[in-house]
Structure 1
């Protein structure tokens, strides 16, 4: 059972104060319940507050009131995807991702087995289209995939926003059967619609909203009897003359007939039938273009909503305490972020490998590195480390480092452009687990790309210029650490900047800003005579350590110190530190604004 109590939206804080005072709330003290084993429809015209009510129920927007799902608010449910399945709008996802890949990625977000994706594809009739790209799916197929996404966790409650919009009659029939089967298994189904006939056909109970307020809470049969009336639809170029003739004959015959003139020469006649209207038009010589029986909507009539029926003893749930029921004038409760994705590392791996973007970037970086490496060795006396990295002086970054930074920027940038978690939370949550997963996956990708480029360049030099071209340098540990640190640092800089500014271009700009802007400033600051030396630093650190470190640790410690002491290393370290602070600050500010 779903219980919504006192839902009231508050105005956005980015609006001017004078506008906040003038605009009424989108949802105003809305209280209703959707019972288990039935389909409930929220009916209202566009702008009546249906979607705003759903977003309040899902804690996506700030406001007053609370919604209980089988006795618990959403932020206290350990696994929300297994309790509530949501479809708000179209399926969010990268257009190049396949339907199967999208569901497998969301399986990791919901914390369920990947085999669940195949089951849901079969349930919604997309088993044969699992390899189809999202941008190739029709509207009906997209809606089926959205329902499959909502059903991944086998939730008790389904919340759907305009699921029938734009569907064909056949798709509507299929959706009706699916929702009925969920309700017959004891589930709770809540959907929104703006079509009264659709609400009467799909739902067991219809809740009517008008300007954010509850105006009627009725059983579907009562709703159809009081709101929907049979009528005769007549289209004629002489609508005024026919309306007067029908009204005059009804008065003479003392019958209750209502004639409503609408736009486009359309008449709606209540209390009559096609035969009588046709005969009247024939007698008065009125040309008729259309004559049909329909079911008309009389508009929302304000009725007293019945009190919620008592829950049977077998289905009783813990009653929330009075302190947990905020009234419409009480302070809005602070929303708590839902833990999603539940398996962040698995989710991030499937997100990265679900499209070919990372593979194409790696291939482009490899080809560019090979070409630059062979060309530099041919035309200039470039040192071996620069040859293996394919890093000429006129490029701010080697191709491999730039490719790693671009993949890092896409890691968060594509999340905000194609938010895979939007069906559950509306935006990508700033979870520490998700950030650590992204940092880990991008670091592994950057290291693999760096190793692949270095090995490929070395083999290309040996093939083209002979074996003497690539002797092993003596300081190879320092070179390996610096090359790997450069690739990983660029990947993390792009990732964090895209996470802060929520756009891929910001991540790319942050990667390029390190060699173009920050490194020259750091180099200018470091070009001063040294007053003191850091000689003996490893020994002093060893004295401070609680555990006995191996002798090899001194070498790697000095390698790290030398890397940071370099202008480029110091610039990259400063950039990463600033981006981490900005990421944490924006996350805390967003929570404070809520």
Structure 2
């Protein structure tokens, strides 16, 4: 059961709220349509239910707010019109990344791909999918975690008749298994044909809440559908007789040889055709939907189709959306208005979903929703580290940045080492005096900035309530992953630069310095600090450019100031700090610990180290404060 109570959006200045005191419910085992014209508040209502927009009111999913659900992505699947994800990520990579975000087994991605009819397109980029295929991908993302409820914003908008029929058949199958389906539409015919219940909005308020059959009878115009090769002559005859009898009859020519007659009945239309000697191939009363009379028959299996029909395959690793103590209602034997068409006419406007394939012996039949009857699979925790790895490696920008850094670093190292006058650490870092940071540090900061910047630009976690969930686990995963990438990038840059120098200038001219451990610590500390600054800057200000600006702020603005402060006469030397700490704390440690601590302090005490520490501390505090204020999680 999905209940919306008193939903009211926050109004803009001098404007009424888009949604005002909206209260309705969507029952399990049924499809509910939220009907209204453009600007009636349908999308705003869905966003308020998902707590994506500010406002008042309550929404209960099976008796609990979404914020109290243990796994929101398993409670509700969301499709808000745009297919989420980076356009350069492959279809399979997108779904596998979302599997890691929701704690779903990765095999579920391939099952859903086959179920929504995208088999064979797994390697296609998300941005290159045609219109019908990208809508199927959006439905696959909504169904991935086997949610109990589906919230869809105009899912059939712009689709061809065959794709629209497939979509509504899939929604009907989900409802038949006990799930709740709520979708928005602006077409009354679509609502009457495909929904069990229709909630009509106007100006952000509910003006009607009816069963589909009652909605079709009271709010749609009844008509007579006539198919005849003499449609124009019959329309003229009906209009002439109605004008003579002073009756309000309207004849509207539809596609081909179809005629819709309003204000009359089958008997009167048949009598008129008989008097004028006109042949009639079809004559039927209809209410609310004439699409059944003009929708072409489903294509044969051999006919070409831009999007292949779905194949229902039982998932190998299902996940359940059901929580203990909140079992969904059983699917009704026959829901009102769940037939092929609503109203007196029996024309079919939607295709039923194909039946599931038989499961292997000893195993229950499972459906596309992944809920096997009579059994609740164990809940899996979300895996932010795996999610971040999929996100980082699934787009070409990471490899592009790393390759560019290596090429630029090798070129700078060869130029700097040509005369032998520049110190070896500067040469290996490829850090000319005119650059604020070495190429590797800039690349690490850019990769870190992309970790949040791409999430805000191409949100992929809408089903998890928000573009990017404010959760410290996700932040820690990003920090760990980009730190690892920075370390690998730094090692590759040093190895590539050293190899290029020795190959060009000879091994004798490029010796390895004896203090390489402290140099390596400073080098890797710089790269990791820049990567973390990019992550936190983009996370706080919600843009990759802000993350890059946070990285450049350290050497351009903060380091010169700190360099002046730290070299002043009032600054106390940190040379004896390890000994003073040992005297203060009491326990004695070995001289080796003294050397390691002194080396770490020398690295941190450098102006760049102090600047990075200050910037990272400030950004981390800002991220935590904004996360607590928004209070959004998976």
TM-score bin, normalised by smaller chain: 0.7 to 0.9
Q: 1:155 to 1:368 in 2, by over 3 A?
A: same
CA apart distance, 1:91? 1.1
TM-score, normalised by the number of residues in structure 1: 0.81
Tell me the residue number matched to 2:437: 397
Q: Cα RMSD over matched residues?
A: 3.3
TM-score, normalised by the number of residues in structure 2: 0.77
Greater helix proportion: 1
* Structural mapping, 1:175-324, within 5 Å: 175-231=167-223, 249-250=241-242, 252-253=244-245, 255=247, 257=249, 270-272=262-264
Contact 1:57/1:66, CA 8 A, preserved across alignment: yes
CA apart distance, 1:438? 0.7
Contact 1:88/1:423, CA 8 A, preserved across alignment: no
Question: 2:367 aligned with 1:367, yes or no?
Answer: no
Q: 1:135 to 1:341 in 2, by over 3 A?
A: farther
* Contiguous gaps of at least 5 residues in structure 2: 227-234, 253-258, 276-283, 290-325, 331-379
Tell me the residue number matched to 2:594: 554
Contact 1:43/1:193, CA 8 A, preserved across alignment: yes
* Structural mapping, 1:15-414, within 5 Å: 15-16=12-13, 19=14, 23-231=15-223, 249-250=241-242, 252-253=244-245, 255=247, 257=249, 270-272=262-264, 342-414=382-454
CA apart distance, 1:109? 1.0
SS at match of 1:364: helix
> Aligned partners of 2:465 and 2:134: how far apart in 1?
19
Tell me the residue number matched to 2:348: none
SS at match of 2:32: strand
Tell me the residue number matched to 1:458: 498
CA apart distance, 1:452? 0.9
Q: 1:225 to 1:558 in 2, by over 3 A?
A: same
> Aligned partners of 1:82 and 1:391: how far apart in 2?
49
Question: 2:547 aligned with 1:507, yes or no?
Answer: yes
Q: 1:148 to 1:544 in 2, by over 3 A?
A: farther
> Aligned partners of 2:208 and 2:148: how far apart in 1?
25
CA apart distance, 1:568? 2.1
> Aligned partners of 1:505 and 1:154: how far apart in 2?
36
> Aligned partners of 1:398 and 1:467: how far apart in 2?
24
Contact 2:470/2:630, CA 8 A, preserved across alignment: no
User: How many residues in Structure 1 have an aligned counterpart in Structure 2?
Assistant: 527
Tell me the residue number matched to 1:542: 582
Contact 1:179/1:189, CA 8 A, preserved across alignment: yes
CA apart distance, 1:200? 1.0
> Aligned partners of 1:296 and 1:199: how far apart in 2?
9
CA apart distance, 1:367? 1.1
Tell me the residue number matched to 1:7: 7
* Structural mapping, 1:429-448, within 5 Å: 429-448=469-488
Q: 1:175 to 1:315 in 2, by over 3 A?
A: closer
> Aligned partners of 1:314 and 1:233: how far apart in 2?
44
Q: Deviations over 1:364-415 (max 9, x none)?
A: 1111111111221113511111111111212211111111011011111111
CA apart distance, 1:535? 3.5
> Aligned partners of 2:550 and 2:464: how far apart in 1?
30
SS at match of 1:6: strand
CA apart distance, 1:41? 0.7
Q: Which is worse superposed, 71-80 or 243-252?
A: 243-252
Q: Deviations over 1:54-88 (max 9, x none)?
A: 11211222222222222211111101111111111
* Contiguous gaps of at least 5 residues in structure 1: 235-242, 261-266, 284-291, 298-312, 318-339
Contact 2:482/2:531, CA 8 A, preserved across alignment: yes
CA apart distance, 1:245? 11
